[in-house]
Amino acid sequence: MPARRGNYYSGNAATFCRRPLMDTALIRELKSLLGPANVLSQKEDLMLYEFDGSVEKARPEVVVFPLSTEHVSCIVKLAAKYQVPVVGRGAGTGLSGGALALGGGVMIVFARMNRVLEIDLENRRVVVQPGVVNLDITRAAEKADLYFAPDPSSQKSCTIGGNVAENSGGPHTLAYGLTVNHVAALELVLPDGEIVRVGSRHGDSPGYDLCGLFVGSEGTLALVTEITVKLSRKAEAVKTLLAIFDAVGDASCTVVEMTASGITPAACEMLDGWTLCAVEDYIHAGFPRDSAAVLLIEVEGVREAVESQAAAIGEICKLNHARDVRTARDDSERDLLWKGRRNAFGALGRLAPSNYVLDGVIPRSKLPEALEQIHAIGKKHGFQIGNVFHAGDGNLHPIVLYDPRDTEQFKRAIATAEEIIRMCVSLGGSLTGEHGVGMEKNELMPLLFSDADFDLMRRIHDVFNPDSSLNPGKIFPLSKGCGEIRVRKSGQAAGARP
Amino acid sequence: MSSISNLSGQFEKLVGSDRVHTSEAVLKGFAIAGCAPMAVLKPRAAEEVAEIACFAAAEKLAVLACGSRSKLELGMAPQRYDLALDMSGICQIAHYDPGDLTVSVDAGMPLKELSEALAEKNQFLPLAVPCSATSTVGGAIASGIDSTLRQQYGTSRDFLIGAEFVDGTGKQCKSGGRVVKNVTGYDLHKLLIGSLGTLGVITRLNFRTFPLPELRNAFVAAFPAMEAALNFHASLLKSGLPFSNLELFDPQFSALLAGYSNRTAVGVPKSLGTVGWHVFASFEGIAGVMERIQRELRERCNQAQAAHNETLDARNSPQWNDALRESFDWLRSAALNGALLRIVLPQWAPGDVVELHQVLNQSPLRLAFALRACNVAYLALQSEGEDAQTNAAMERYVSDVYSRAAAKKGSATLLHSPAWLKDRINVWGTKRIDFPLMQRVKQAFDPHNIFAPGRFVGGI
């Protein structure tokens, strides 16, 4: 047993950098457990795993690919023996740095635990390993007209394990809820290697709602090794509307009025004019190039209700000066509109070397005000900010385009992001609607939570992950200590790009 | 622990002398299974709750927060019970943003009052829980009791978006927020649902609200034989039609429902006069949707050869919905010396329902059974006498239900039973595999074990 190197997560960001390099004996043991093909430890290999979809980076010291729950348990035990931290990772599409190895150590990539273990169409349940890609769950069930409702924009590549860790959302969260609303049971590996199960297949068992706690805990309490998800039935009728506006304010007022009048579409997405042009250049979805904003609205359900809702939505759009309200005529038109929406971030990526996709939430009635403020904040920092977001539930995704090679510009991008998130909170909103806190917003947590809140969250953390060996440095502010709460200044992220 | 006379002065300092009650008559109203607290405190604000919890932790006093006390009997009787907190003094709507469809409400607010306030803005909370005349919002969440709108709106887990509560160290904590989409921090408020006050004292709850539907209609069909009723029920579940509630009753449940309707002056609906099994469906929306669902129901009903069917419109469907919403309450009254069980199976086959009924042949017990939404069944066991033989039969039956549920990977819970039965059968069933993790959660929330010790799963 090697000498203890001290707690590698002492609440001080600098500690992460000081930990000595990994013991080669650990790597040897990992190779003998998993086979050399399932262990990466060369620098050039590890570099591929130092990024995710966020602007941060942090390099693991070894990357492993378990094939079974037992492997995960053994890996965690080995990591504990050598006192190195562990972080789980799916496809690495996360946007808050949740799957980055901030403490170095072992990164467990679940890509090879990607089997659909059981499909129970009768009871609408599918049991999967964490590495299964989100969309593949729907593909496994669609012949029975069933599907998995959470649909992050990255659903073609992101994994269900990552969705569970981050409690991911998507455009249809508006009507159907986040990942947590569609998970019935989990198999977990705790930091000491113990394998446990929480929840139940039918989703209703006496006791605390542990499933509700673990989903969205961002890999800080346990590693998820098996997930039982609930399937939803496809609606018998769907209508997809594209409402085109000459003023952003009119589009946002439409959303406010729609919400207040009690209409809940299945999805209600907004794309601003600047983003639309970029999308149109890339996807050719048929979005108008000369508009200020569009709303992509989808209504689903019983035929009669869909007709009536679509008509009511059309009325509200017109009352708010929509230039035109188009209805997708068939599935291919509908798919094209959604393709444009889902690839919007990619389209904007063609305009600048890098982009920073933010994730803030506001009360829906504050939408017009929030969009004006975002515009003003961007102007102040010298950025044109694109807005492609889930307008229906007040989940903003401002996108800041920047060049990471320009240190000064990167710092400004971070400052812009922080100001926007602070604005969301000041409007009565929250730090993140679906991307998670991770290492992106942990220093902003004191904007919402008090010392007492942190104490309790910390106690919950510590009863499961007492040594912070799992995903250290996430969710909790590192700068907070001895009762003093400080919010980290922009650009001080450990290992942040560039 | 100090004696009551020493503590009374301390309690008065915490909440004021007019808000400390120690008379036997008051204490009796807060008793659980004959065990009364030493004092009832009625705090006015969350800050006072925090001070009480702090004091209780220091003095090692066991605390139970109460709303209207309509469901105090749920769970095991607490192992210790020193202080009852009467939360009815913390009862304001803190924020209501109709335009955002969110509301933030104090735990002690009666659900009925909240519903009225929401209805003014044409909105509602889909928490159709029993004891609706008195039930508080906090109690509805802490008890985790079933809502009859679950089929359409889910459980409170799906629309509770945040909470404020006092933890076992006497600190005021919160989780979630007041926006409909939020993943910031651990979702601790989900743990409070159904926790029976064992994790903390809920002081405020934030919900997503919903627009009131234009119309709420219902449909009931009667079947002479169980098999046909079960098949009809299953076919409706598979139909994809958007029911807000879908229930199947056995003849005895129907008789009790008719009795309740009679007592509450609603009058017995025609269909309930038909002896046999009944399938009830309610649905909501615009007129076009109502017509379509009713048409399909009638067609399916004809195919299923129902003895009788009846469409319930805006005049009589609310009474049905209310009566079914209250079924927990009138079932336990009907089974005063008996028991009320909640059974969840991953899937109900006709054989399961048959078995539950067959076992009772030649038994002194009578059974009323309803299969409710989402595979949840309520089973009331009516006992004529309290003699040893009847009690033994009841105990045998209840244990048998627990074993059957476990064998089918489901679960059973006793919602109501005489004290002697709770002494012999743990209402929560055998400890689940994740019980040690629940203990850890309890340890984190309530390190001094002051909140309702022993009341919850596995003796938490």
Is residue A339 in some structural domain?
yes
**pLDDT tens string B293-307:** 999 999 999 999 888
Residue (of A347, A435, A451) closest to A396 by Cα position = A435
Residue A184's CATH number: 3.30.465.10
Instruction: Give the span between the Cα atoms of A165 and A161, in whole angstroms.
Output: 6
- The pLDDT value recorded for residue A479 is 77
> Which whole-number Å values give the CA distances from A84 to A107, A404, A476, B51, B329, in the listed order?
10, 30, 19, 42, 55
Q: Between chains, do A212 and B157 touch, taking CB under 8 Å as contact?
A: yes
Contacts of B429 in chain A (CB under 8 A): 206
The answer on B131 and B252 residing in a single domain is no
The answer on A390 and A253 residing in a single domain is yes
The one-letter code for the residue type at A143 is: K
Domain count, chain B: 3
Is residue A263 in some structural domain?
yes
Q: How far is A20 from chain B (nearest CA, A)?
A: 31
Testing the interface with A: which of B120, B172, B180 to mutate, by most A Cβ within 10 A? Answer: B180
What's the ipTM? 0.96
Contacts of B443 in chain A (CB under 8 A): 459, 463
pLDDT band at B2 (very low <50, low <70, confident <90, very high): low
Strand partners, A272: A293
Is residue A421 in some structural domain?
yes
What is the three-class DSSP state of B310?
Answer: strand
* Residues B10-38, mean pLDDT to the nearest whole number: 95
The answer on A261 and A190 residing in a single domain is no
Model pTM score: 0.95
Query: How many residue pairs bridge chain A and chain B with CB atoms within 8 Å of each other?
Result: 235
The answer on A275 and A173 residing in a single domain is no
Residue (of A446, A480, A434, A409) closest to A98 by Cα position = A434
Domain count, chain A: 2
* Residues B222-240, mean pLDDT to the nearest whole number: 92
The answer on B353 and B341 residing in a single domain is yes
Terminal Cα-to-Cα distance of chain B (whole angstroms): 21
In the predicted model, residues of chain A with pLDDT beneath 70 are: 1-21, 480-498
> Which whole-number Å values give the CA distances from A215 to A161, A475, B183, B458, in the listed order?
10, 14, 10, 23
Q: Is A289 left (phi over 0), alpha (psi -120 to 50) or beta?
A: alpha
- The pLDDT value recorded for residue B277 is 94
**Average confidence score pLDDT of chain B:** 94
The three-state (H, E, C) secondary structure of B27-67, written as one string: HHCCCECCECCCEEECCCCHHHHHHHHHHHHHHCCCEEEEC
The answer on A357 and A208 residing in a single domain is no
Q: Which of B269, B296, B323 is the last residue of a domain?
A: B323
Is residue A451 in some structural domain?
no
* Residues B326-345, mean pLDDT to the nearest whole number: 96
Q: Which of A198, A233, A268 is the last residue of a domain?
A: A233
The answer on B377 and B245 residing in a single domain is no
The answer on B232 and B121 residing in a single domain is no
Is residue A200 in some structural domain?
yes
Q: Which of B272, B297, B323 is the last residue of a domain?
A: B323
The answer on A281 and A228 residing in a single domain is no
Is residue A80 in some structural domain?
no
Testing the interface with B: which of A183, A208, A254, A445 to mutate, by most B Cβ within 10 A? Answer: A208
Q: Between chains, do B434 and A207 touch, taking CB under 8 Å as contact?
A: yes
Q: How far is B266 from chain A (nearest CA, A)?
A: 31
Is residue A180 in some structural domain?
yes
The string of DSSP letters for B320-360 reads: HHHHHHTHHHHHHHHTSSSEEEEEE-SS--HHHHHHHHHTT
Is B439 a residue whose pLDDT tops 70? yes
The answer on B221 and B206 residing in a single domain is no
The answer on A314 and A182 residing in a single domain is no
The answer on A257 and A226 residing in a single domain is no
Whether B10 and B20 have beta carbons less than 8 Å apart is answered as: no
Instruction: Give the span between the Cα atoms of A137 and B53, in whole angstroms.
Output: 46
Owner of token pair 């299923």: B304
The answer on B200 and B125 residing in a single domain is yes
Testing the interface with B: which of A209, A232, A236, A269 to mutate, by most B Cβ within 10 A? Answer: A209
The answer on B345 and B316 residing in a single domain is no
Q: Between chains, do A463 and B182 touch, taking CB under 8 Å as contact?
A: no
Q: Between chains, do B187 and A206 touch, taking CB under 8 Å as contact?
A: no
Owner of token pair 């979805």: A285
**Pairing between β-strand B243-249 and β-strand B365-371 as defined by DSSP bridges:** antiparallel
The answer on A400 and A301 residing in a single domain is yes
**Pairing between β-strand A232-233 and β-strand A146-147 as defined by DSSP bridges:** antiparallel
The answer on A263 and A155 residing in a single domain is no
Q: Which of A178, A203, A233 is the last residue of a domain?
A: A233
User: What residues contact residue A254 under an 8 Å CB cut-off, 6+ apart?
Assistant: A243, A245, A295, A316, A317, A320, A322
Range of the domain at B238: 215-323
Residue B113's CATH number: 3.30.465.10
Q: How far is A386 from chain B (nearest CA, A)?
A: 21
The answer on B406 and B285 residing in a single domain is no
Q: Between chains, do B292 and A436 touch, taking CB under 8 Å as contact?
A: no
pLDDT band at B317 (very low <50, low <70, confident <90, very high): confident
Range of the domain at A405: 237-426
Q: Which of A378, A411, A426 is the last residue of a domain?
A: A426
The answer on B1 and B129 residing in a single domain is yes
Is residue A170 in some structural domain?
yes
The answer on A269 and A229 residing in a single domain is no
- Which pair of structure tokens corresponds to residue B423? 């002494």
The answer on A242 and A229 residing in a single domain is no
DSSP A371: H
Q: Which of B302, B323, B344 is the last residue of a domain?
A: B323
Task: Give the residue, A211 or B311, on which the prediction is more confident.
Answer: A211
The answer on B230 and B194 residing in a single domain is no
> Could you give the angle at which helices B350-358 and B226-239 cross, rounded to 10 degrees?
140
The answer on B202 and B225 residing in a single domain is no
The answer on B439 and B313 residing in a single domain is no
Contacts of B210 in chain A (CB under 8 A): 262
The one-letter code for the residue type at A392 is: G
Q: Between chains, do B183 and A301 touch, taking CB under 8 Å as contact?
A: no
The answer on A123 and A156 residing in a single domain is yes
What is the three-class DSSP state of B203?
Answer: strand
Task: Give the residue, A459 or B267, on which the prediction is more confident.
Answer: A459
Instruction: Give the span between the Cα atoms of B365 and B388, in whole angstroms.
Output: 13
Closest chain A CA to residue B95: A428
